[in-house]
Structure 1
Amino acid sequence: MKPLLPALLLGLGLSTATITPAAAYPVDCAILLCLAGGWPASAECAHARAVFIRRITPWPIEPPLQIWNCPMRASFRGERQPIERLYDIAFRTDLPPAASSLPEVSAAPILVDAQADVDISNPAFDFVRSIRVFEITYQQRRNSDGDCNSWGSIYMGTYGEQGDYSRRRSNISAVPEASDFGIPASCGNYWHRSVFVEWRDYEGTYGHEEVHY
């Protein structure tokens, strides 16, 4: 299966002249494919990545990938390989209009039981389950009595086996080292608020982004 992905991504990167404009495909299908390939250089993947990051830019904070908005069953054809199906889904031109429009960012809460409409438990989709979103708030200061006071709130969002998204309270030690967050050794005034997202592509290459606010 692995040799198939470079060929599909090569087509994505070099054939943009024959691919429909960004508004013509479900953006979450494009996010799936572009994330799998490590965000290859193309107008479609640049748009997909912008949506991916915009969703974690407060407020509200949304799941960066909303796989339930990608009509995977619409392109399911028997025993086709998962990544091949994904490419077909992302750039088909015959999807019904309702499935082809770009979703608007909404303040409505995302149901955590929303998930892909086909089985994605195949290891080919492990890159979906590698995505983790950290909402980080931390402050530290020394009061007038010389005591060091600190307060922190960490939430972590993860994806389940079928792409369902859940968010739960976490702890400071869980924040990845790639984040800019770092508690000073001494008790100086320190304030950090950010949303950090990390992932691994189809080949296991690590990537991350952090939005400060």
Structure 2
Amino acid sequence: MNLFRPALSLGLALAFFVPAPASAYQIDCAILLCLAGGFPPSVPCTRARAEMIRRITPWPIEPPLQIWRCPMHAAFDLPATQRPVAHLYQIAATAAQAPRHPALPPSEAKLVDQLVQVATGEYSDGNQTADADISGPEFDFVRSIRVFSVEIARQHWIGGDNDTCNQSQRVRVGSYGIQGNFGWRGSSVAALPAAFEGLEGWADYSTPDGSHCPGIYKRSVFIEWHDHEGGYGFEQVDY
């Protein structure tokens, strides 16, 4: 039985109802936790998902999860067995063994509070890395995030003496490194996920005639991810 999802549902649902100064709230901690749980239905996770999508809406396109803004280690120096992911499993195990109460026990509430609320302070806008080791498979959901920026995908048939399917494309993909650093590289229409919509009929070089080269003009940003259990999610923003 995977105990990660109950941890998120319990921890997020209760922790976000604890009054806290707005300046102490860090949206990237919420994005991290809600993303892991597949954005379970809740007000905080709805807000976290909306912020993630806002960041990839042109222009500019920002990293959807800025994990360096959620201090999982620096804000509270704990042994490895008490780091964020371990806390989630502990909370889940407790929830599975006992009836749920209107509020978490003080010890568990403190752990959740440490996960989703951080001390106020200045954070760099630079592309940094997580301040805790996230190289393990439990954080693969972070590295599953990919952002495709289709700056232009145009196709039309040119008839006459030089019948051809004229195409132009400029596509970039943003992804995360082993420690949560985000970077861009060149890509192509062919690499777009199957869930991407609007390029049906994009021809390959074997196109025999104009009937196989419909007119297409597309500009879009597409984000995809997998949660901690492998569930797939995506969002497409056309412009």
TM-score, structure 1 length as denominator? 0.84
Larger radius of gyration: 2
Distance 1:7 1:183, change over 3 A: closer
How many Å apart are 1:141 and its aligned residue?
Answer: 1.2
Residue 156 of structure 1: which of 173, 181, 185 is its match?
173
How many Å apart are 1:91 and its aligned residue?
Answer: 2.5
Whichever residue aligns with residue 173 of structure 1, its letter is A
Equivalent position SS for 1:18 = coil
Question: 1:141 matched to which residue of 2?
Answer: 156
Give yes or no for contact 2:38–2:227 (8 Å, CA) kept in 1: yes
Question: 1:72 matched to which residue of 2?
Answer: 72
Distance 1:28 1:188, change over 3 A: same
Whichever residue aligns with residue 9 of structure 1, its letter is S
Question: Which residues of 2 match residues 92-131 of structure 1 at below 5 A?
Answer: 92=117, 95-98=118-121, 110-111=126-127, 114-131=128-145
Looking at structure 2, the residues matched to 96 and 18 of structure 1 have their Cα atoms a distance apart, in angstroms, of: 15
How many Å apart are 1:182 and its aligned residue?
Answer: 2.2
- Deviation digits for residues 165-203 of structure 1 (CA, Å, limit 9, x no counterpart): 111001222100011142416222211111100000011
Residue 190 of structure 2: which of 173, 182, 192 is its match?
173
Aligned residue pairs, count: 202
Whichever residue aligns with residue 27 of structure 2, its letter is V
Looking at structure 2, the residues matched to 173 and 19 of structure 1 have their Cα atoms a distance apart, in angstroms, of: 48
How many Å apart are 1:33 and its aligned residue?
Answer: 0.2
Residue 220 of structure 2: which of 191, 194, 200 is its match?
194
How many Å apart are 1:69 and its aligned residue?
Answer: 1.0
Residue 91 of structure 1: which of 88, 110, 116 is its match?
116
- Deviation digits for residues 43-70 of structure 1 (CA, Å, limit 9, x no counterpart): 2111111110001000001110111111
Looking at structure 1, the residues matched to 46 and 6 of structure 2 have their Cα atoms a distance apart, in angstroms, of: 18
Question: Which residues of 2 match residues 15-26 of structure 1 at below 5 A?
Answer: 16-18=16-18, 20=20, 24-26=24-26
Question: 1:6 matched to which residue of 2?
Answer: 6
Looking at structure 2, the residues matched to 58 and 77 of structure 1 have their Cα atoms a distance apart, in angstroms, of: 39
Equivalent position SS for 1:124 = helix
Equivalent position SS for 2:53 = helix
Distance 1:16 1:119, change over 3 A: closer
TM-score, structure 2 length as denominator? 0.75
Equivalent position SS for 2:121 = helix
Whichever residue aligns with residue 65 of structure 1, its letter is L
How many Å apart are 1:4 and its aligned residue?
Answer: 4.4
% identical equivalent positions: 48
Give yes or no for contact 2:153–2:168 (8 Å, CA) kept in 1: yes
Give yes or no for contact 2:35–2:227 (8 Å, CA) kept in 1: yes
* More displaced 10-residue stretch of structure 1: 132-141 or 13-22: 13-22
